[in-house]
Every structure is written in structure tokens, then in C-alpha cells.
Amino acid sequence: MPELPEVETVMRGLAPAMTGAMIVRADVNRPDLRWPFPVDMAGRLTGQKVNQLRRRSKYILADLASGESLLIHLGMSGRMLVSGDPLGQFVHDHPAPEKHDHVVLHMANGARITFNDPRRFGAMDLMETVHADAHKLLAVLGPEPLGNDFHEAHLIAALKGRMMPIKSALLDQKIVAGLGNIYVCEALFRAGIHPARKAGRISATRVASLVPIIRQVLAEAIEAGGSSLRDFRQADGELGYFQHTFDVYGREGAPCRSPGCSYVIRRIVQSGRSSFYCPTCQR
């Protein structure tokens, strides 16, 4: 499933084609994805100007002139792809429609935004913009890891006394929003913390060190266009490249990249998810 860097990358790719542009027609080609679409979604989108795009955790939000916001979740295999030439720089023909093109937004600037989702685990919803933070999918989320509300004091307080593994704690969206398996594994390696360590037994100093490390890992991943392991594509269809710099994720049996370390990366399963780590560099 796309994590924060992948969703941020897609949002940034959509912004030039959607921000300030009008949706002249919305084609909704099925009644649902993971959940039913909102009532008359096509009619509520058609004719609306997109005021801005923003991201909350792993969700993209398009704020509309109508006072509603379109919430987009990519699910396991969802893609938001841009075709056409909204900036007047190139000539790109629109591709032929595909079987899993479930929602298509035709923009007044000539762009076409296609939501393609073969597995149909994605989702879309509409809500009042002023009450978006109260939406059932957003209200439970913790602070953004790249925002000002995610800081050392918050993380220390959130982990105090918790006996769950630190890996599980960082995946808890109520503690910090948007982190997933890949980037938690990478951050814990850089911090030298074993994924099975009890969160509440890690010193405040080491917990505090996680904040800038998490920010750095995410920033590097966004700069690289995210990580493409299976289905993920950027909005222009290109792959992300951060997977080529993974230190631990997916590298079971490969040599640790820490200078002077002679051990190999190991894998354990935590709550049904694989955790990758170095047994000597992470304690």
C-alpha cells in the first residue's frame, strides 16, 4: 500500500493539472470501490473548480469551490494518472480507456485525471471542507510527521509506558500519521533501534532521535518519487526510485550497509508484517 511519500508524490504530480482548474465532466464508472461512492458523486464534481490539493496522512484531499472536498485513498493498487497537456509544454494524447478506470475527471484545461484500481481497495468520498478533519477516516489520525505538531515531546509522551514493540507503535496512525512498514523499518535502522524493542523501555533520548530521522527518511523518499515495489506509479506513470537505496527493507540475507558491520539483514514477522533489521546495528 502506498505510504506517505508515495501519496505526497502523487499529490504533487496532480497539482499542476488540477489546482485552479474546473472539472467539466466526471465519469464514475461503477457504484463503489472499497466502499460505495457518495450519492451523485459525478454531479457534485462536475462544474466544480479545484481550489487546492493537500495531503493528510495517506489521503489526498481536493478542496472544491462548492465547499466540499474530494477524499482519495489509493488502496493497494490504485493509481491517479494525468494525461493531456495542461501546462502547454508537451503534446500527450489521452490513452485509450482501460478496464479498471473507475473514475475519470475531465478538466477544462485539457487534462484528464484517471483513477485506475485493479484490486478496488481504494476509496473516494465527499465531505464539507470545513468539517473534513472530523471525517471518520481523518478524525483518528495523529500529527503529520513532516508537520510542526510532530516533535520530540509528542513522541516521548506518546510512547511512555507502552509495552508494544516500537515498530508497532510507529505504525499506529494515532501516534503519527502516514508511516507504513517500509519507512518505519528504514527509520529504525538509522536510529539503531531493534523493531521488537518495547516502546516504553526506550530512553527518551533515543525516542527523541527518531523524530529528525523519520523526517529525513521521508524527505529523501519524496525527493526520489517514492518507492515502486509492485503497483505504485507517479501521476505521470513513472516509477519511484527510493527502493534502490533501502538499507534494510526487503534485503533479508543481504550484507548490512553500515561501515564495518559483517552481519546480514534479518527478517521477523510482527503482527503479520515483515520487519527487516540488522541484529548488531539495532539494539
Q: Which three cell numbers stand for residue 185?
A: 523499518
User: From the CB of residue 273, how many other CB atoms can be counted at a distance below 10 Å?
Assistant: 15
Residue that has been written with the C-alpha cell 539503531 in this structure: 192
Question: Domains along the chain?
Answer: 4-134 (3.20.190.10), 152-277 (1.10.8.50)
pLDDT at 86: 66
Which residues participate in catalysis according to the annotation?
Answer: 2-3, 58, 273
Closest to 80 (Cα-Cα) out of 162, 12, 19, 144: 12
- In angstroms, the CA 83 to CA 195 distance is 41
User: From the CB of residue 58, how many other CB atoms can be counted at a distance below 10 Å?
Assistant: 23
**Per-residue CA distances from 75 to 3, 223, 229, 236, 274 (Å):** 10, 22, 14, 18, 19
DSSP-derived 3-state class of residue 205: helix
Determine contact, residues 227/242, Cβ cutoff 8 Å: yes
- In angstroms, the CA 151 to CA 173 distance is 15
pLDDT at 94: 80
Ranges of beta strands (E only) in 120-214 are 123-128
DSSP element (H, E) containing 59: strand 59-64
- Length of the chain, in residues: 283
- In angstroms, the CA 41 to CA 34 distance is 15
Determine contact, residues 249/182, Cβ cutoff 8 Å: yes
What does each of the 283 residues of the chain score in pLDDT, given as a tens digit? 789 999 999 999 899 999 999 999 999 999 999 999 999 999 999 999 999 999 999 999 999 999 999 999 999 888 998 988 666 554 567 878 889 999 999 999 999 999 999 999 999 999 999 999 999 999 999 999 999 999 999 999 999 999 999 999 999 999 999 999 999 999 999 999 999 999 999 999 999 999 999 999 999 999 888 875 555 555 555 655 577 889 999 999 999 999 999 999 999 999 999 999 999 999 9
Q: Which three cell numbers stand for residue 261?
A: 558491520
CB-based burial of residue 205 (10 Å sphere; 0-12 exposed, 13-18 middle, 19+ buried)?
Answer: exposed
Q: Which three cell numbers stand for residue 228?
A: 515502486
* Beta pairing partners, 22: 49
pLDDT at 98: 85
* Beta pairing partners, 273: 270
Determine contact, residues 77/123, Cβ cutoff 8 Å: no
Q: Which three cell numbers stand for residue 30?
A: 461503477
User: From the CB of residue 98, how many other CB atoms can be counted at a distance below 10 Å?
Assistant: 11
CB-based burial of residue 131 (10 Å sphere; 0-12 exposed, 13-18 middle, 19+ buried)?
Answer: exposed
pLDDT at 225: 81
Closest to 261 (Cα-Cα) out of 175, 192, 165: 192
- In angstroms, the CA 229 to CA 13 distance is 19
pLDDT at 88: 57
Query: 123-128 and 101-107: which strand pairing?
Result: unpaired
